[in-house]
Structure 1
Amino acid sequence: MAKPVILTVDDDPDVLQTVSRDLRHQYGDRFRIVRADSGQAALDALQQLKLRNEFVALFLVDQRMPQMSGVEFLEQALDMYPNSKRALLTAYADTDAAIRAINSIQIDYYLLKPWDPPEERLYPILDDLLDDWFASFRPPFEGIRVVGNRWSPLSHQVKDFLARNQVPYQWLDIELEGEATQLVEYAEADGKQQLPLVLFPDGSRLIQPSNLAIAEKIGLQTQAERPFYDLAIIGGGPAGLAAAVYGASEGLSTVMIERQAPGGQAGSSSRIENYLGFPVGLSGVDLARRAVAQARRFGVEILTPQEVTAVQITNPYRILHLADGSEISCHALLVATGVAYRKLDVPGMDQLCGAGVYYGAAMTEAIACQGETVYIVGGANSAGQAAMHFSKYALEVVMLVRSPLTKSMSQYLIDQIEATNNIKVCVGCAVEEVKGDKNLEAIVIKNIHTGESETVEAASLFIFIGAMPKTDWLDGVVERDERGFILTGPDLIRDGKPPKGWNQDRSPFLLETSVPGIFAAGDARYNSVKRVASGVGEGSIAVQFIHRYLSKV
């Protein structure tokens, strides 16, 4: 934690230098001494301290200053730091003003100038004030602060990006917290029109930043260190991370490119309870954190947030074109881009996405749902895990499902849901419409058996209705099925013949696509098992076939 601040203000340079010297001599090991030669300069300094999230323990201020007296300064300073101790330096002629200030702004003490010797006339008084301050002081959050609006899609994007990349932050809602309004003013942002505001511990700030801008600021790697790799992996979910660990541990120079955050869809899961070796379960965030640490230990380069937009085949190389215009070449390529939740196509969805309507678990919104009714659409494991997580915060969780949970959800989750009093499962229910001006206000629920509709108030709707692969950028490169899932191995063989353009004297390996040297693993692969363990398994097995391919290159 940064040292608390003692701020001294005096317009007389000699006095200011002397008091600063005395303060630094006695308190410099525990406090940072900041000085200002006018009330306005001191207020400007306080704004910067506030943006850096530093705390002021004590104000030691001269009363008789031109333009702004000590009392006038303290009146404004206490709006920023109401719990700071305050002492007034006065001449004998100003004692009446100092006494009045005790009543008007509750100053804690006034000292007459000169204060020599400080050991007798200054330090004992300040010692008492600082001891009192420390007794009630609670250390501030040290890290990134995000000021925004709960219903802002961009605010949600920033929070989700930080959370999924396991970067601690403090959320300040502009509608609920006075400090948030202050910080926006001090940062010279244009009110609610320029949110979110992201404040960093060094006092710097970003207004309405992109994920890439945040990544560069917090030190995430977004650029590759070299132009060529043995193995490039696109996607940082369980399959991609497993391949990265096994590839790098077996001597392959490996780069993994992830467009959002390592962990993929599994990384947003609140609890994975059926993963081998973790009898009490673990969160998706924990799984991603462990896997990332393991991959980096073996020397894997992880680029995030970074996106591959195209692949160029120039045998024996595969050239990746990235969104920022750069290129990476590799011998072998593994596509592990996973899937995205399918969009709910009902009126009102587009304008409310990120403003009360969310795809996936959106764990960053859980605390904001305290005391509310949360609606979840979907009946698979991801929806069940989300329901259990939100039940810890919400007044009630309502699951809207077309069919009984037994058709799509693991029994252990069904048992947990049935045992949770504030989760209600509405079978045969579907969302027909969402309503709201700037944020979600109501949803229309239709009973698919009777055709009846009901409109209910709602502030949060989370959607888990199946998934589609993120493979459009591979159109014309590798063979995919009609939904975009990548065909591999035996699924490429038709009538005993290899895929069109296949130029090898062998059949495609088990996880190899229609282009030699390009492999696929995890949820984006056709007919894959949509489980974390199977993704890890496929990523691990893919490396075995990649070695076989590389041995012939």
Structure 2
Amino acid sequence: MGDIPQASVLDTRSDQMFPKLTAEEIDRLCRFGQLKSYKAGDAIVRVGETGPGLALVLSGEIEATQRDQAGHTRVIVTHKRGNFMGELAQLSGRPYLVDEIAVTDAEIMAIAPDRLRALLIAEASLGERIMRALILRRVGLLETGAGPIVIGEEGDADVLRLTNFLRRNGHPHQRLDPVDDQCGRTLIQRFSIAPEELPIVLCTNGKILRNPSEGQLARCVGLLNQLDETRLFDVVIIGSGPAGLATAVYAASEGLSVLMLDCRSFGGQAGASARIENYLGFPTGISGIALMARAFNQAQKFGVEVAIPDEAVKLECGNDPCRIDLATGERIQARSIVIATGARYRRLEVEGLEDFEGASVHYWASPLEADLCKNEDVGLVGGGNSAGQACVYLAEHARSVTLIARRPLRDTMSQYLVERIEGLSNVTIVIGAEVAELKGEQGALQAVLLRDRKTGEVNWHEMRRLFSFIGAEPNTDWLAASGLKLDNRGFLLAGEEGRFPLETSRDGVFAVGDVRSGSVKRVAAAVGDGAQCVAAIHAYLGKQREAEAGQKAELVVTAV
């Protein structure tokens, strides 16, 4: 029996995706927008262009269309009076992912991103319906594969790097094989691409990138724009894992101007978790990327400015304001800084590891890696909860999973995960072993040598992929010249006597989440840090305002 086709969100939730507003609701929205008129046949916006924001249709008909890899156009929906155009990209003024064409003469009320965010907050019930529609439309575009086209072989390390970047940032995309896919072959021939130039990316604006960096790709598809270096933010948050996102949501919702940076993608390590089952309020569990995407959407709703991928390389504080140097050469300034850089994955101490990383050795288990594991024998190293969640997830897809841990699972893993793993028939648990050697060619893993840590006995195990979940180290190397105090393991000291809660040894610089010394390495604890940190930031900024007022008063007295 073949697989049962899964119904699309357009099939099951079209009424919520494309609601029709009443005359009274239209009047309420019109106060946020600007009237614009179009003739029949006019393009209101094309794929890859920054459009008018959310566009409420007042009269006429407008078709939302999408082009496939072969250039064929399909109509997604025809907007009429009371419908509105747009999806999540319009919250932050990013390019459209579909074409919007006037079928007849039409009038729209164009609601710019800042006004859209104001609408969502001011009109709570109506804003909820609009926000739900924007999210569902993004889900629909993810399902149908809108956005940039990545052309390259499925298992290629650079293809995995680029598609993982887009997936983890919630950006729709398509991947075509240059050999097996007719459209892929046609595009390769059309643009005269040599094999050594693969993978390539065809951006939504028509530009071709040859094996780009994540930053180049982000700029090409409109995810990353140039920052305003003259702007003074109330808060700059470095890192967009659970702690950074929580800080951003609470700070922006309370009226602070916020910029959030991350060098890779939102969600941090939590975003790479296949399933989180012990987070309060989700009794059936939720994938890490789904939970983090909700938080990211909240941040955008409240007006957080986001720069991903944008890496902070230097922090200068001590003078007001603080300044942060970015890898792009840009410099930004803020009244307060929140460091939420978390931790970076530890690498196995195995010779030649770099030859397999990205292609056969992975540090997270997403649907992309799960697809690669179908009918394969894979290994997973680690004994914590993240390793357990990944093991359970991969076991649903792989032929077999060998779980390698140094200590008994019950010593390091939640009981419910241990019991679930022990009940999986295709999982073999190897305790007290370590990876000693990898065997394979051209990035393709063939076997892994395991060494017993007590006896020294070694055995080869055939595996096509190896997943490493052996913990992480604090991501604080870039702070070497900042003067911030660290503990003996490299984590940031915060909240010491005489300081605000979560404040580091520098005034106005705070540490939240896994990067903070003594933090509990759990998603809920990280979110709690974010909430507590915003209260401390308000207290700090209040103290700064009092000091500035006192200085001004002293100047007036002196002048008199």
TM superposition shift of 1:361: 2.5
- Equivalent residue runs for 1:440-459 within 5 Å: 440-459=445-464
Q: Structure 2 matches for 1:47-446, cutoff 5 A? A: 52-55=69-72, 141-174=145-178, 177=181, 179-191=183-195, 193-200=196-203, 203-225=206-228, 227-439=231-443, 440-446=445-451
Instruction: Please name the residue that 2:83 is paired with.
Output: none
C-alpha RMSD of matched pairs (Å): 2.3
Q: CA deviation at 1:151?
A: 4.2
Give secondary structure in 2 for the equivalent of 1:484. Answer: coil
Distance 1:238 1:267 in 2: 9
CA contact (8 A) 1:150 1:355 kept: no
Is 1:551 matched with 2:542? yes
Aligned to 1:461: 466
C-alpha contact (below 8 Å) 1:220/1:304 kept by paired residues? yes
Alpha-carbon shift at residue 315 of structure 1 (Å): 2.0
1:459-494 CA-partner distances (Å, limit 9, x unpaired): 21110111111111111320112332111123xx6x
Give the aligned residue type for 1:231.
V
Q: Structure 2 vs 1, CA of residues 482 and 212 (structure 1 numbering), >3 Å: closer, same or farther?
A: same
TM-aligned CA deviation for residue 154 of structure 1: 1.7
Cα separation, 1, equivalents of 2:487 and 2:151: 44
| Cα offset, 1:548, TM superposition | 0.9
Question: 2:486: which partner in 1?
Answer: 480
2:225, 2:466 → 1: CA distance? Answer: 33
Query: Structure 1 residues 509 and 202 mapped into 2: Cα distance closer, same or farther (>3 Å)?
Result: closer
Pairwise CA distance, 1:523: 0.4
SS of the residue aligned with 1:441? Answer: strand
Question: Compared with structure 1, are the counterparts of its residues 253 and 432 closer, same or farther at alpha carbon in structure 2 (3 Å cutoff)?
Answer: same
Q: Is the 8 A contact 1:268 1:285 kept in 2?
A: yes
CA offsets per residue over residues 515-551 of structure 1, 9 Å max, x none?
A: 0110000001111100000000001101111111111
Q: 1 CA distance for matches of 2:246 and 2:204? A: 34
TM-fit CA distance, 1:148: 1.7
Following the alignment from structure 2 to structure 1, what is the Cα–Cα distance between the partners of residues 185 and 165? 23
Judging changes above 3 Å, is the alpha-carbon distance between structure 1 residues 180 and 550 closer, same or farther for their aligned structure 2 residues? same
Partner of 2:504: 513
**CA–CA separation in structure 1 for the residues paired with 2:488 and 2:364:** 24
CA contact (8 A) 1:230 1:253 kept: yes
Q: 1:148 to 1:483 in 2, by over 3 A?
A: farther
Q: Is 2:383–2:409's contact at 8 Å kept on the other side of the alignment?
A: yes
Instruction: Normalising by structure 1, report the TM-score.
Output: 0.70
Which residue type is aligned with residue 265 of structure 1?
Q
Amino acid aligned to 1:220? L
**Further displaced range: 202-211 or 518-527:** 202-211
**Which amino acid letter does the alignment assign opposite residue 219 of structure 2?**
E
Which among 496, 501, 526 is matched to residue 517 of structure 2? 526
Cα distance in 2 for residues equivalent to 1:271 and 1:329: 37
222 and 141 in structure 1: CA distance in 2 versus 1, 3 angstrom threshold: closer
- Equivalent position amino acid for 2:385 in 1: N
8 Å CA contact retained: 2:273, 2:366: no
Structure 1 residue ranges without an equivalent (≥5): 1-27, 29-48, 58-138, 494-506
For 2:539, what is the secondary structure of its paired residue? Answer: helix
Cα 1:341/1:334, change in 2 over 3 Å: same
After superposition, what is the alpha-carbon deviation per residue over 1:293-322, rounded to whole angstroms, capped at 9, x for unaligned?
Answer: 111111111111101110112522100111
The answer to whether the 8 Å contact 1:53/1:142 transfers is no
Deviation at 1:177, TM superposition (A): 4.5
Aligned residues: 409
Tell me the secondary structure at the aligned position of residue 317 of structure 2: strand
Q: How far apart are residue 239 of structure 1 and its match?
A: 0.2
The 3 A distance-change label for structure 1 pair 172 and 391 is farther
Higher Rg of the two aligned structures: 1
Q: Per-residue deviation at 1:227? A: 2.0
Query: In 2, distance between residues paired with 1:329 and 1:150?
Result: 41
Deviations 1:229-284, CA, capped at 9 Å, x for gaps: 01110000000000001111111111111111111110111111111111111111
Q: Deviations over 1:364-398 (max 9, x none)?
A: 22101110011100011111111111112111111
User: Please, which moves more after superposition, 259-268 or 442-451?
Assistant: 442-451
Residue 223 of structure 1, CA deviation: 3.0
SS in 1 for 2:531: helix
Q: SS state of the match for residue 234, structure 2?
A: strand
* Aligned residues of 1:259 and 1:304 also touching (Cα < 8 A): yes
- Give the letter for the 1:508 counterpart: R
Q: 1:295 to 1:243 in 2, by over 3 A?
A: same
Decide whether the 8 Å contact of 2:314 with 2:481 is kept in 1: no
Relative distance call for 1:168 and 1:351 in structure 2 (3 A) is same
How far is the alpha carbon of 1:420 from its aligned partner?
A: 2.1
Alpha-carbon contact 1:373-1:458 (below 8 Å) kept? yes
Say whether the 8 Å CA contact 1:227–1:327 is kept in structure 2. Answer: no
Deviations 1:193-228 (A, max 9, x none): 111122345654322111112111222134334621
What is the Cα deviation at residue 141 of structure 1? 4.7
Give, in whole Å, the separation in 2 of the partners of 1:402 and 1:380: 11
- Amino acid of the residue matched to residue 240 of structure 1? G
Percent identity of paired positions between Structure 1 and Structure 2: 42
Q: Matched residue of 2:404: which SS?
A: strand
CA distance in 1, matches of 2:387, 2:218: 29
After superposition, the Cα gap between the structure-2 partners of 1:52 and 1:152, relative to the gap in structure 1 and judged at 3 Å, is closer
Instruction: Kindly state the Cα deviation for residue 362 of structure 1 after the two structures are TM-superposed.
Output: 4.7
Which of 470, 474, 477 aligns to 2:475? It is: 470
User: Could you state the TM-score of these two structures normalised by the residue count of structure 2?
Assistant: 0.69
User: In the superposition, relative to structure 1, how do residues 420 and 176 fare at CA in structure 2: closer, same or farther (>3 Å)?
Assistant: farther
Give secondary structure in 1 for the equivalent of 2:309.
coil
**2:530 aligned residue:** 539
What CA distance in whole angstroms lies between the structure 2 residues aligned with 1:355 and 1:513?
39
User: What is the one-letter code of the residue matched to 2:211?
Assistant: Q
Shift of 1:143: 3.8
Moved more, 379-388 or 309-318: 309-318
Structure 1 residues 144, 221: closer, same or farther in 2, change over 3 A?
closer
Tell whether the 8 Å contact from 2:252 to 2:302 is kept in structure 1 after alignment: yes
Q: Cα distance, 1:144 vs. partner?
A: 3.1
Q: CA deviation at 1:178?
A: 5.6
